């Protein structure tokens, strides 16, 4: 064996150990061992096998480089090219695994379809609100991993030139040959067959398998059924079939005195942020309105939250609406009634893809997005409010108007001007590249103070809106809606931000609806974002049953909501007044059912089993609601 081959193998061995070190930080070995010894064995074998599998693309590209250049360059140049490819590809691999580990540490998720959508969709990365220091930090980390791999290659080359290395490889040559590769292949097959069998029967391995980044699910239900092996029923939920929405043609008669509608949505506005200290303007306005104290978003992220509130549907319908680029029915109704409409966001309409779903049929000249202009979120909020008020000023007063605005001030990094500071101390900046769970715990109070200051600035912009509407006597015939897209957690349950879990801090938001000539009220019953549309549609003269276009309830009725649905990219939570049950949406998901109390307390396995047994009827209701608008019906759709 040449020194070159020895160096390359030693380099990959040390890189393999580095990979294991990075990945191990996300895996709960001790907890798994204490809970189930068989699952622990499965986890350990999977962990070591996947450490090898992560490096296969680098192996393959290195080998391809060698075979491609073998007849074109001298031996020394070929070796340099191979060293370069090996260093570059392993640096990318370890950097990706490190980023994946940090993502899991901070947000409880691995790189998945949601993260890839964020990266690939225009406006996705900008929506994170990273600072210049964060970008510089990420660049330094990337360079650091590249230099680390250069260092490992240099050490491997130096070691391969020592006599000790020759003796080591000579005595262990069988370990590095085809036998080890065959053993790895057989173990890989065994691990995935074990998972497939367990998935079909006991579901013991699904929890530990999801600890291993990029674990590839293998299902062989058909094979096991053919062998007579009985399986457990899948608990996943998936809306299937072609979208049929609305179920019947929307029938409406324009009211003789139609209401104007001002719909104000804030990023990351958690329920307890609406109070007299942080938001005096909104709090005062709420005293004149109907305030819903137990409101749930339809998601733990912007995509699901905004979709649910404007569609009146569970946000798991998002993908069907996106595929068919179907817009919101309530907007179609207002368009047919001659409403003047303008839409504003301090983010982008392209991420999430609201321009291809909710606002798909809206003209581009009515949609105004300010992100990407090198201004901070609070500056864009101020500009948008000015533009929105200008639109109302210049409207045709003989026609009703609808306007929608999405505020960005409370989006992490949490934006505010100096005059909005009411909470100290606060972090001057958030460098995402340097964040860790330990650092977050230590700094969560000054970080949350940034959020409080940002929400206080949001309140100042709400105040501008309220003042204008009052000054111009528009509150006599204008409905005003104040709502958050989702909440924001500050380590109350181990995470920061949103989009990670279904704890109350991430899914509960304020909901305030001002209706002309309606007495102020405080409603303490459970409500959902999905209830807003079926509340407004009758006010627009829509005579259809709400089941034609929504699964929500009319908030002005006496109907009591028994449960709500909250979704993220691949899970859906059923929440009632006692429990939360989180279901996987797709059969391919490794995530299995998770059960907690309604106030986010863990329950024992035995209690979880009892709850699931009692909630079988609820599961059937979920399946009906998620397919309610996917049934093949021969009905015309449209607005009359």
**What is the pLDDT, as a whole number, of residue 201?**
46
Instruction: Look at the pTM and tell me if it is higher than 0.95.
Output: no
Q: Are residues 310 and 401 in the same domain?
A: yes
Which CATH number fits the domain that encloses residue 297?
3.40.720.10
Cα→Cα distances 512→250, 380, 445, 480, 555, Å: 27, 23, 28, 8, 11
Q: Work out how many domains the chain is built from and give that number.
A: 2
pLDDT in tens, 215-239: 766 554 544 454 454 444 444 455 5
255 part of a folded domain: no
Which of 23-27, 417-421, 474-478 shows the lowest mean pLDDT across its residues?
A: 23-27
By percentage, how much of the chain surpasses pLDDT 90? 52
Question: Band of the pLDDT at 129, cuts 50, 70, 90?
Answer: low
Backbone angles phi, psi at 427, to 5 degrees: -70, 130
Last residue of some domain: 534, 561, 588? 561
141 part of a folded domain: yes
pLDDT in tens, 535-576: 999 999 999 999 999 999 999 999 999 999 999 988 899 999
Last residue of some domain: 513, 537, 561? 561
Select the more confidently predicted residue: 337 or 583: 337
Q: Taking the CA atoms of the chain, what radius of gyration do you get in angstroms?
A: 28
597 part of a folded domain: no
Q: Are residues 407 and 355 in the same domain?
A: yes
Last residue of some domain: 174, 207, 226? 226
36 part of a folded domain: yes
Q: Are residues 439 and 544 in the same domain?
A: yes
**What is the pLDDT, as a whole number, of residue 304?**
95
598 part of a folded domain: no
69 part of a folded domain: yes
Average pLDDT over residues 412-416: 90
Which of 189-198, 310-319, 325-334 shows the lowest mean pLDDT across its residues?
A: 189-198
637 pLDDT above the threshold of 50: no
341 pLDDT above the threshold of 50: yes
Average pLDDT over residues 183-198: 61
pLDDT in tens, 283-325: 999 999 999 999 999 999 999 999 999 999 999 899 899 989 9
280 part of a folded domain: yes
469 pLDDT above the threshold of 90: yes
The vertex-74 CA angle with 69 and 76, nearest 5°, equals 100
Q: Are residues 9 and 136 in the same domain?
A: yes
Tokens representing 399 are 């026609």
Whether residue 339 contacts residue 545, with contact meaning beta carbons closer than 8 Å, is answered with no
Whether residue 432 contacts residue 130, with contact meaning beta carbons closer than 8 Å, is answered with yes
Q: Are residues 323 and 444 in the same domain?
A: yes
How do 579-584 and 594-597 pair as beta strands?
Answer: antiparallel
Question: Band of the pLDDT at 617, cuts 50, 70, 90?
Answer: confident
pLDDT in tens, 171-182: 555 555 556 666
Q: Are residues 18 and 118 in the same domain?
A: yes
CB atoms within 10 A of CB 45: 15
Domain that holds residue 189: 3-226
Select the highest-mean-pLDDT range: 8-22, 31-45, 429-443.
Answer: 8-22
CB atoms within 10 A of CB 393: 9
Q: Are residues 215 and 305 in the same domain?
A: no
523 part of a folded domain: yes
Q: Are residues 346 and 424 in the same domain?
A: yes
**What is the pLDDT, as a whole number, of residue 223?**
47
Q: Are residues 11 and 87 in the same domain?
A: yes
Tokens representing 550 are 């929504």
């Amino acid at each position: 064996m040449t020194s070159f081959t020895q160096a390359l193998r030693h380099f990959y061995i040390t890189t393999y150990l580095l990979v294991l070190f990075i990945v191990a930080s996300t895996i709960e070995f001790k907890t798994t061992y204490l809970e189930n010894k068989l699952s622990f064995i499965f986890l350990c074998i999977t962990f070591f096998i996947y450490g090898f599998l992560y490096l296969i693309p680098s192996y393959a590209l290195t080998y391809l480089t060698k075979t491609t250049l073998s007849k074109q360059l001298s031996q020394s140049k070929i070796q340099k090219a191979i060293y370069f490819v090996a260093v570059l590809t392993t640096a990318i691999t370890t950097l990706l695994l490190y980023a994946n580990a940090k993502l899991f540490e901070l947000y409880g998720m691995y790189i998945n379809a949601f993260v890839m959508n964020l990266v690939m969709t225009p406006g996705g990365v900008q929506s994170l609100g990273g600072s210049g220091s964060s970008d510089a930090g990420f660049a330094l980390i990337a360079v650091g991993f590249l230099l680390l791999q250069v260092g490992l290659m240099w050490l491997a080359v130096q070691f391969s030139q020592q006599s000790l290395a020759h003796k080591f490889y000579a005595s262990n040559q069988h370990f590095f040959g085809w036998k080890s590769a065959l053993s790895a292949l057989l173990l890989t097959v065994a691990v995935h067959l074990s998972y497939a069998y367990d998935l079909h029967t006991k579901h013991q391995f699904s929890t530990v398998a999801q600890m291993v980044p990029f674990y590839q699910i293998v299902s062989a239900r058909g094979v096991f059924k053919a062998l007579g092996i009985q399986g457990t029923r899948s608990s996943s939920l998936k809306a299937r079939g072609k979208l049929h929405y609305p179920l019947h043609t929307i029938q409406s008669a324009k009211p003789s005195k139609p209401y104007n509608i001002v719909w104000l949505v804030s990023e990351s506005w958690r329920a307890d942020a609406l109070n007299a200290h942080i938001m005096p303007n909104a709090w005062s306005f709420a005293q004149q309105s109907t305030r819903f104290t137990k409101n749930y978003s339809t998601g733990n992220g912007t995509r699901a939250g905004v979709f649910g509130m404007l569609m009146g549907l569970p946000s798991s319908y998002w993908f069907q609406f996106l595929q068919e680029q179907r817009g919101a029915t309530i907007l179609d109704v207002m368009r047919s009634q001659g409403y003047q409409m303008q839409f504003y966001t301090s983010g982008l309409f392209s991420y999430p893809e609201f321009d291809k779903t909710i606002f798909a049929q809206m003209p581009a000249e009515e949609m105004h997005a300010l992100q990407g202009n090198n201004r901070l979120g609070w500056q864009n909020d101020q500009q948008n409010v000015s533009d929105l008020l200008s639109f109302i000023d210049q409207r045709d007063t003989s026609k009703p108007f609808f306007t929608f605005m999405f505020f960005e001030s409370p989006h992490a990094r949490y934006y505010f001007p100096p005059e909005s500071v009411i909470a100290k101390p606060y972090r001057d900046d958030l460098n995402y590249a340097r964040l860790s769970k330990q650092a977050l715990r230590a700094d969560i109070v000054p970080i949350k103070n940034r959020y409080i200051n940002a929400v206080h600035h949001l309140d100042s912009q709400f105040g501008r809106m309220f003042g204008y509407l009052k000054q111009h006597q528009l509150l006599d015939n204008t409905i005003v809606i104040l709502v958050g897209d989702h909440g924001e957690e500050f380590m109350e349950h181990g995470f920061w931000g949103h989009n990670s879990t279904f704890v109350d801090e991430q899914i509960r938001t304020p909901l305030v609806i001002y209706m002309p000539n309606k007495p102020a009220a405080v409603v303490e019953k459970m409500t959902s974002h999905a209830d807003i549309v079926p509340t407004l549609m009758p006010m627009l003269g829509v005579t259809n049953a709400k089941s034609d276009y929504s699964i929500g309830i009319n908030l002005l009725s006496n109907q009591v909501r028994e449960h709500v649905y909250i979704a993220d990219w691949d899970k859906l939570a059923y929440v009632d007044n006692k429990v939360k049950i989180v279901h996987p949406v797709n059969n391919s998901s490794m995530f299995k059912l998770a059960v907690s109390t309604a106030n986010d307390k863990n329950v024992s396995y035995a209690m979880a089993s009892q709850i699931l047994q009692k909630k079988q009827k609820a599961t059937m209701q979920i399946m009906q609601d998620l397919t309610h608008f996917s049934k093949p019906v021969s009905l015309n759709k449209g607005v009359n």
